[in-house]
Amino acid sequence: MKDTQDKIIILGTDTQIGLSLIREFGRRNCHVVAIGRSKGSIGLRSRYVQEGFLWPRGTEAEQIEFLNRIARITGARFLLCVSETDILFLNRCRDRLDGLTPLIPSKDTIARVLDKQGTACVAAEAGILSPESHTIKDLTELPTLARSLIYPVILKWSNPHEVMQDSQRLGLAIEKIIYCHNAEELAKQLRRYVPLGQFPMIQAYCPGYGLGQFFFMHRGKALLRFQHRRIHEWPPEGGFSSLCAGVPLEQHRALQDKSIALLQKLDWEGPAMVEYRYDEHNDRAVLMEINGRFWGSLPLAYHSNAPFGWYSYQVLGLGKVPSTLEPMRDDIQCRNTLIELKRLLRILFQPHKIRDKSLRFSPFKEVVGFIGGYFNPKMRYYIFSLSDPKPLLADWAAIARKLMRR
């Protein structure tokens, strides 16, 4: 039996994020306790999982008791989680956890990061640009504002968690980004939220590609850093990365310093992603948001030997900084094959659905790039791994079940 200090509970193993954490700890011979939300959870199929459990659908009190029981059964003292929803839940019940410590940001710290408008104000103090943003309280304010805007504009919620419960009750979808190309589209989209009584922010469109800078902060210092660029996104006009690549740390040094200054001002502890839209033609970076959690492209960091999960456990849990690590790589690409295929099909057969009309794609180059990726020796994958193949089979099985239900 391994020492209890080698044990870690990972909550949220249904995505590539949780799977990457499992593999990161498994490669270090840790005793991984995985908690998934469905029987088809890809993380629960990993060879690195010693003990796996399903998250109960009961009350919050029952879920807390479930975590306490898992801690007693396994002897694990520390827990990592993936989603902001779980971070908020664990902060609500910290004092009811028995001998189990969640390695997550505090309630006040995560609240500051989730507030995009507040983050933009702090970013300005650090010399970081943010998109021009407007808010309205009533649709009667829109006609005057709409005439002054430069289109397209983006609709984005300042803190989607604040409106999630009411929006679900009303059957309203809370989308991450909505593109509006003229005043009529803007009014049409905003009218959807009249029953909610709240409206998303109206932001200026920022050209360029996604640039993510990742840091592990501890007591005001960046103990670990990594950065990448989004080569492809889903949807194609912008969202989350379907193909990303490491960027050498020698690049964007001044921007890294500003990102660290921003996290320092927010008193941030632990891993965080500072996300920008970077226009290389004008060398202009505009802040999109801070992800105060493990991010969707964590598989790239894992494959590049940037161990953010391990740092969380060692520094926040055991109180020590890792001394020996594998050399970090900045030449790796990583892709989500099924999302890449979905993106390719959108470009080839549904280009009218791409909301950003300024984007231009070469179908021939896109097909060649998709096929050529399989022959790239530096290509890695979000889920597929020869040494750990079962998560991919579980992913395929889940997709097959969805198609059959349709």
Amino acid at 367: V
Q: Encoding tokens for residue 41?
A: 């959870």
Alpha helices, DSSP H, located in 6-149: 16-26, 60-74, 84-92, 107-114, 116-125, 142-148
Query: Given this model, what pLDDT does residue 323 score?
Result: 83
From the list 159, 87, 155, 165, the residue with the least C-alpha distance to 118 is 159
Q: What is the mean pLDDT of each run of 10 residues along the chain (406 residues)?
A: 70 97 96 96 97 96 98 96 97 96 97 94 97 95 95 92 91 89 95 95 94 98 98 91 98 98 98 97 96 97 98 96 89 97 97 86 97 97 97 93 85
Phi, psi of 274 (to 5 degrees): -105, 115
For residue 31, what are the β-bridge partners?
7
Long-range contacts of 230-235 (CB under 8 A, 24+ apart): 230/297, 231/333, 232/335, 232/340, 232/343, 233/343, 234/339, 234/342, 234/343, 235/343, 235/346, 235/353, 235/354, 235/355
Amino acid at 326: E
Residues 6+ apart with CB under 8 A from 16: 42, 296, 298, 299, 336, 382, 383
Query: Given this model, what pLDDT does residue 4 score?
Result: 44
For residue 134, what are the β-bridge partners?
202
Cis peptide before 152, with omega less than 30 degrees from 0? yes
**Calpha distance 247→259 (Å, rounded):** 16
- 67 neighbors 79 (Cβ within 8 angstroms): yes
Query: Given this model, what pLDDT does residue 154 score?
Result: 94
Residues making up the chain, counted from first to last: 406
Burial (CB count <10 Å: 0-12, 13-18, 19+), residue 91: middle
Query: Given this model, what pLDDT does residue 1 score?
Result: 39
From the list 269, 265, 263, 271, the residue with the least C-alpha distance to 225 is 271
Query: Given this model, what pLDDT does residue 189 score?
Result: 96
Task: Tell the residue number behind the tokens 């161990």, with chain if given.
Answer: 307
**Per 3-state DSSP, what percentage of the chain is helix, strand, and coil (rounded to 5)?**
40, 25, 35
Q: What is the pLDDT of residues 184-222, one digit of tens each?
A: 999 999 999 999 999 999 999 999 999 999 999 999 999
Average pLDDT, the chain: 95
Q: What is the pLDDT of residues 50-65, one digit of tens each?
A: 999 999 999 999 999 9
Query: Given this model, what pLDDT does residue 393 score?
Result: 96
Calculate the alpha carbon distances from 199 to 141, 156, 186, 187, 202 in Å: 12, 9, 11, 11, 9
Query: Given this model, what pLDDT does residue 128 score?
Result: 98
Q: Encoding tokens for residue 38?
A: 């469905």
The DSSP secondary structure of 130-194, one letter per residue, reads ---EE--SSGGGHHHHHHHPPSSEEEE-S-HHHHHHHHHHHT----S-EEE-SHHHHHHHHHTTT
**Calpha distance 316→303 (Å, rounded):** 23
Alpha carbons within 13 angstroms on the beta-carbon side of residue 147 total 3
